Amino acid sequence: MRNTERYPVKGSNSLWHIYRTVPFWKVVKNFLVIQAARYTPVLKLKNWLYRTFLRMKVGEETAFALMVMLDIMFPERISVGKNSVIGYNTTILAHEYLIHEYRLGDVIIGNEVMIGANTTILPGVTIGDGAVVSAGTLVNKDVEAGTFVGGNPMRVIYTQEELRARLK
């Protein structure tokens, strides 16, 4: 199981309880900032917006490609290390609203991580330093440092040791 906090709800599904879990105006501000950042090609501006308005931890020289969709409700629970690349149209979630509960979980992406295009990262996941996630992957569990993963369901393609052996 991913590292998430679980909050049960009674009555209607948890999405109907949204503004009891996160303030409306926070969601509006986050939405506007994220939408502006999705379309800007200026990487420094994007990182500044994320750090300043969304309270995210974003390492130096990290690059978010166009159309990256960050968690609108809890972006402050996302951190990305230095010199990482987040591929085109990737979605990073720190929450999930279900029928009888909602879950929150930090997403931690290490240094020099490569995330391929159209990837979805679920709440409560840690991706270790130097990992590579192929395009179109559903990241539903932790990824060890230096590992190359891909697919849906996600599977290990090469471990760090196998990659070193291939490069020799």
Domain span holding position 28: 12-167
CA nearest 30: which of 67, 7, 56?
Answer: 56
Q: List, in order, residues 6 or more apart from 63 with CB less than 8 Å away.
A: 43, 84, 85, 86
Instruction: Confirm whether 7 is domain-assigned.
Output: no
State the pLDDT confidence band at 163, using cuts at 50, 70 and 90. confident
Segment (H or E) for 95: strand 95-97
> Could you give the CA distance from residue 51 to residue 59 in angstroms, rounded to a whole number?
10
pLDDT at 132: 96
CATH of the domain at 106: 2.160.10.10
* Tokens at 16, concatenated: 């109907």
pLDDT at 166: 77
pLDDT at 168: 73
Instruction: Confirm whether 112 is domain-assigned.
Output: yes
Q: What is the pLDDT of residues 30-79, one digit of tens each?
A: 999 999 999 999 999 999 999 999 999 999 999 999 999 999 999 999 99
pLDDT at 161: 84
Q: What is the pLDDT of residues 91-145, one digit of tens each?
A: 999 999 999 999 999 999 999 999 999 999 999 999 999 999 999 999 999 999 9
Instruction: Confirm whether 5 is domain-assigned.
Output: no
Q: List, in order, residues 6 or more apart from 122 with CB less than 8 Å away.
A: 2, 93, 96, 105, 138, 139, 140
Between helix 43-53 and helix 24-39 the angle, nearest 10°, is 170
Q: DSSP character for 100?
A: S
- In DSSP terms, 85 is beta-bridged to 63, 114
Instruction: Confirm whether 1 is domain-assigned.
Output: no
3-state helix, strand, coil in the chain (%, to 5): 25, 25, 45
* The total number of structural domains that make up the chain: 1
pLDDT at 1: 60
Instruction: Confirm whether 6 is domain-assigned.
Output: no
The 3-state DSSP class for residue 149 equals: strand
State the pLDDT confidence band at 165, using cuts at 50, 70 and 90. confident
